[in-house]
């Protein structure tokens, strides 16, 4: 048997905080409040948003209306691609706190490396300082390739706690995952449900074997692979369904079968901007 998972399952970040393993993604959902409320009612402990999504206020409203204590929910948001400077990034942290209606952020990520090395490092320094000021508990990056991660390490700066990347059976980003494992950086998986593009017998037939749907199988695969998946859905019913992943265990043989779908970067189904300079 592999590890027993539940809504309360966490992974310890290199900064000392505990990250809930299963999260709700709200990518470009401008009406995410119903999904967030359904998730919080079901037992989700992590909601992932971003300044780019334009829904931080709804996430904050859902958290307050849910009645769940603030300290029990992990909130992640992200610095916009056009906010890569020390001053702008620092201001963005304050703006997100105001929009969400929170006194602190559990995690702030740099959404992507889409600028240049000096700007990325200045933005990272802003997050480091925001953490020191108590505005953010953990800081990280998203869509960072090894070379972008190495920029931070070689500059002698605090390493990210998290790297959130596209990650599913067709796009396993093994070089990035290996670097993160070496330096104790937790890997969050976005698009773990492959945006519904799961018409492969390794997925559909294996899901039937466990009396699960493909989404549930993919999320369980992500958890057993050691990732923290963000299951995106705007449909409250699917939000609930996606969470029924704690009552079965994928065998080693079936994990290997699913692993065999990997096509590296060619398997990406999102923007996956890991190769920018």
Q: So what's the pLDDT on residue 1?
A: 45
Instruction: Please list, in sequence order, all residues whose beta carbon lies within 8 angstroms of the beta carbon of residue 59, skipping any fewer than 6 positions away.
Output: 26, 32, 33, 36, 47, 49, 75, 100
Query: Is residue 111 part of an annotated ligand binding site?
Result: yes
Domains of the chain: total: 1
Domain enclosing residue 30, as ranges:
10-199+223-234
CA distance linking residue 85 with residue 143, whole number of Å? 18
Express as a percent the part of the chain with pLDDT over 70. Answer: 99
Assess whether 53 carries a catalytic annotation: yes
Q: What is the mean pLDDT of residues 225-241?
A: 97
pLDDT confidence of 220, banded at 50, 70, 90?
A: very high
- Decide if 36 contacts 43 (C-beta within 8 A): no
In a domain, 121, yes or no: yes
Question: Any idea which residue has 């963005």 for tokens?
Answer: 92
In a domain, 134, yes or no: yes
In a domain, 192, yes or no: yes
pLDDT beyond 60 at 7: yes
pLDDT (tens digit, 9 = 90+) per residue, 14-43?
999 999 999 999 998 889 999 999 999 999
Catalytic residue among 44, 53, 144, 227: 53
Q: So what's the pLDDT on residue 4?
A: 86
User: What is the number of helices (H) and of strands (E) in the chain?
Assistant: 10, 10
In a domain, 195, yes or no: yes
Domain of 157, CATH number, reads: 3.20.20.100
Q: What is the mean pLDDT of residues 103-121?
A: 98
Predicted TM-score (pTM) of this structure: 0.97
pLDDT (tens digit, 9 = 90+) per residue, 189-200?
999 999 999 999
Q: So what's the pLDDT on residue 116?
A: 97
CA distance linking residue 275 with residue 71, whole number of Å? 37
Q: What is the mean pLDDT of residues 148-163?
A: 99
CA distance linking residue 144 with residue 114, whole number of Å? 10
In a domain, 254, yes or no: no
CA distance linking residue 177 with residue 86, whole number of Å? 28
CA distance linking residue 121 with residue 86, whole number of Å? 9
In a domain, 35, yes or no: yes
In a domain, 26, yes or no: yes
pLDDT confidence of 227, banded at 50, 70, 90?
A: very high
């Amino acid at each position: 048997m592999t590890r027993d998972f539940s809504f309360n399952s966490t992974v310890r970040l290199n900064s000392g905080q505990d990250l809930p393993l299963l999260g709700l993604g709200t990518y470009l959902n401008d009406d995410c409040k119903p999904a967030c409320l359904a998730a919080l009612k079901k037992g989700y402990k992590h909601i992932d948003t971003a300044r780019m999504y334009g829904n931080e206020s709804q996430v904050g409203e859902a958290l307050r209306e849910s009645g769940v204590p603030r300290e029990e929910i992990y909130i992640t948001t992200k610095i916009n691609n056009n906010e890569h400077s020390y001053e702008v990034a620092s201001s963005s942290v304050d703006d997100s706190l105001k929009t969400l209606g929170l006194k602190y952020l559990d995690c702030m990520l740099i959404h992507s490396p889409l600028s240049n090395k000096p700007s990325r490092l200045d933005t990272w320094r802003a997050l480091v300082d925001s953490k020191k000021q108590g505005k953010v508990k953990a800081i990280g990056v998203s869509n960072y390739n090894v070379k972008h991660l190495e920029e931070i390490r070689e500059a002698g700066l605090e390493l990210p706690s998290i790297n959130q990347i596209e990650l599913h059976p067709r796009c396993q980003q093994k070089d990035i995952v290996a670097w993160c494992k070496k330096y104790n950086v937790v890997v969050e998986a976005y698009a773990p449900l492959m945006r519904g593009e799961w018409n492969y017998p390794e997925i559909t037939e294996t899901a039937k074997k466990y009396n699960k749907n493909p989404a549930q199988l993919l999320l369980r695969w992500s958890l057993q692979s050691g990732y923290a998946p963000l299951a995106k859905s705007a449909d409250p019913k699917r939000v609930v369904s996606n969470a029924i992943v704690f009552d079965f265990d994928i065998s080693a043989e079936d994990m290997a079968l699913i692993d065999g779908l990997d096509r590296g970067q060619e398997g990406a189904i999102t923007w996956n901007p890991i190769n920018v300079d």
